[in-house]
């Protein structure tokens, strides 16, 4: 079987992305009349508020500040932002004339799904707020989210060539606030919460689709955003466990792999939906004690600012690279690309179908020393 190189796959992804964007750039405008009616109905029946001056243009809702009860402003913005097809909610201070809506230019990135990356863009604040200040890392094999994927190992595998991988988890913000409130108005925001996930791998060719390995990750985190810049820091625990059927069949000597650590990632969003990030961390309590502590991580992502009218579909692509001191700083390369359906959302999540490629030391905990290479396809569900 021919070996797929990282360069070949990335080139294919770039061609796919370019073709998709060219064909969909002119189809990005949502049905404004539908959104306006939807928004008016939601406000009237759910919040008992009537705002006749609400205006929608190019998927952007503009509401005069004078029409919004001060105590309900954050809640109203949150509700309107969750309407399918809405790309932004603007609270216009001036009520003297009809609010003028400026659609996001094609060179404006997206800070959160549907919110333009301007310095004044802020997310709802308070307890259990919606959205995230630091966007998910799309190609990170160990970013907490819900997913299910099929993987075909090329040449080297951890247990069989045909594997299934699932993850269950989320990043949950408990509290968000604007920095320095209530003394002055600020667009610098911070949040704190928990991030936790379970990652499991299965040998689909085994007698009973044997469980190979499960990784448990739990952390307390804090993140910050100002304009196009965001940061994410956490203190985390990870432990890895082999499946019973796998142990009985292979008689493999298991490792009691468990450690605690801390890491930091910094992110910056450029025009046209391009984002770069980087960071690193270390582990301070580890078993086995011979584990070397330091890790670096960096990557690039593309979230198209354009989407099709049909199903509100947009292309996305990402490359993530990790280097572990334990593995002599070898690069673990993860590449993912596919489409995101903005309208197929629940509780603020977005559904993605992604192709994936990985080459490097296995992200599966108990096999961290073993080199692997695989191709796959999966479904991913993010906030």
* 316: nearest Cα among 24, 7, 2, 4: 24
The answer to whether 174 touches 334, Cβ cutoff 8 Å, is no
Cis peptide leading into residue 350 (ω within 30°): no
Q: 267, 276 in Cβ contact below 8 A? A: yes
Report the C-alpha gap between 123 and 191 in whole angstroms.
Answer: 11
What percentage of the chain exceeds 90 in pLDDT? 50
Query: Are 187 and 119 in contact, with CB atoms under 8 Å apart?
Result: yes
From the DSSP assignment, how many helices (H) and strands (E) are in the chain?
A: 4, 18
The Cα–Cα gap between 213 and 221 comes to 25
Partnered with residue 28 across adjacent β-strands are: none
Compute CA distances 292 → 31, 256, 283, 286, whole Å: 54, 15, 8, 9
Query: Which tens digits make up the pLDDT trace of 169-204?
Result: 999 999 999 886 555 456 789 999 999 999 999 999
Question: Residue 249 phi/psi, 5° resolution?
Answer: -80, -35
The alpha-carbon radius of gyration of the chain (Å, integer) is 22
Nearest Cα to Cα of residue 316 among 306, 304, 308: 304
Determine the pLDDT at residue 360: 96
**Which of these ranges, 8-12, 25-29, 38-42, 125-129, has the smallest mean pLDDT?**
25-29
d(CA 60, CA 115): 9
Residue predicted with more confidence, 131 or 21: 131
Please compute the mean of the pLDDT values over residues 98-124 and round it to a whole number.
Answer: 45
**Four-point Cα dihedral 175, 180, 185, 188, nearest 10:** -60
Q: Please say whether the beta carbons of 268 and 293 come within 8 A.
A: no
Closest CA to 35 of 92, 94, 101: 101
Q: pLDDT category, 162, cuts 50, 70, 90?
A: very high
Distance in angstroms (rounded) separating the CA atoms of residues 88 and 122 = 11
Tokens found for residue 92: 């216009």
User: Does 4 have pLDDT greater than 70?
Assistant: no
Degrees (nearest 5) of the Cα angle 79, 85, 88? 60
DSSP state of 152: E
Of residues 118 and 216, more confidently modeled: 216
pLDDT score of 63 more than 70: yes
Q: What was the pLDDT predicted at 62?
A: 85
- What tokens were used for 112? 């959160």
CB 312 within 8 A of CB 342: yes
**Per-residue pLDDT for 100 more than 60?**
no
Q: What mean pLDDT comes out for the span 70-88?
A: 76
Contact call for residues 119 and 227 (beta carbons, < 8 A): yes
Determine the straight-line distance between the first and last CA of the chain, rounded to whole angstroms: 38
Q: What's the whole-model pTM score?
A: 0.71
Q: Token pair of 147, please?
A: 């997913």
Least confident window among 127-131, 306-310, 364-368: 306-310
Q: At what angle do helices 32-46 and 73-81 cross, to 10 degrees?
A: 140
3-state helix, strand, coil split of the chain in percent (to 5) is 20, 45, 35
Dihedral sign from CA coordinates of 134, 139, 140, 146: positive
Kindly tell me the sign of the dihedral angle through the C-alpha atoms of 181, 182, 186, 191: positive
pLDDT in tens, 345-383: 544 568 999 999 999 999 998 899 999 999 999 999 987
Coil, strand or helix: which one is 67?
helix
**DSSP assigned state of 249:** H
90 Cα distance to chain centroid = 24
Query: What's the pLDDT tens digit per position in 134-151?
Result: 999 999 999 999 999 999
Bridge partners for 302 per DSSP: 274, 317
**Is the pLDDT reported for residue 37 higher than 50?**
yes
Least confident range of 99-113, 232-246, 330-344, 357-371: 99-113
């Amino acid at each position: 079987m021919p070996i797929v190189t990282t360069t070949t796959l990335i080139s294919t992804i770039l061609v796919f992305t370019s073709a998709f964007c060219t064909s969909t750039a002119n189809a990005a405008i949502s049905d404004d009349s539908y959104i306006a009616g939807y928004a008016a109905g939601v406000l009237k029946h759910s919040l008992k508020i009537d705002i006749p001056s609400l205006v929608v243009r190019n998927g952007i809702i503009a509401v005069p500040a004078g029409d919004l009860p001060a105590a309900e402003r954050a809640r109203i913005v949150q509700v309107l932002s969750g309407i399918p097809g809405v790309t932004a909610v603007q609270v216009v201070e001036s009520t003297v004339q009809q609010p003028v809506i400026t659609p996001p230019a094609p060179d404006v990135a997206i800070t959160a799904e549907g919110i333009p990356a301007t310095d004044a863009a802020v997310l709802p604040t308070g307890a259990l707020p919606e959205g995230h200040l630091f966007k998910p890392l799309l190609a990170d094999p160990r970013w907490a989210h819900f997913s299910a994927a099929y993987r075909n190992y090329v040449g080297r595998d951890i247990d069989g060539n045909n594997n299934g991988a699932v993850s269950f988890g989320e990043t949950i913000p408990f509290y968000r606030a604007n920095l320095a409130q209530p003394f002055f108005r600020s667009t610098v925001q911070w949040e704190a919460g928990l991030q936790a996930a379970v990652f499991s791998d299965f040998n689909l060719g085994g007698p009973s689709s044997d469980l190979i390995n499960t990784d448990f990750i739990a952390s307390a985190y804090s993140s910050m955003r100002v304009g196009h810049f965001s940061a994410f820091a956490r203190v985390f625990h990870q432990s890895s466990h082999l499946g019973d059927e796998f142990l009985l069949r292979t008689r493999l000597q298991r490792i009691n792999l468990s450690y605690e650590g801390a890491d930091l990632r910094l992110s910056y969003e450029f025009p046209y939906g391009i984002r770069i990030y980087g960071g690193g961390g270390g582990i301070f309590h580890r078993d086995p004690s011979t584990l070397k502590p330091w890790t670096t991580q960096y990557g690039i992502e593309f979230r198209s600012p354009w989407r099709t009218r049909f199903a509100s579909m947009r292309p996305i692509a990402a490359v993530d690279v990790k280097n572990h001191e334990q593995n002599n700083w070898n690069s673990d390369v993860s590449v993912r690309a596919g489409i995101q359906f903005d309208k197929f959302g629940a509780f603020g999540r977005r559904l993605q179908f992604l192709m994936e490629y990985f080459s490097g030391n296995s992200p599966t905990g108990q096999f961290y020393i073993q080199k692997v290479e695989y191709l796959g396809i999966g479904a991913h569900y993010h906030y």
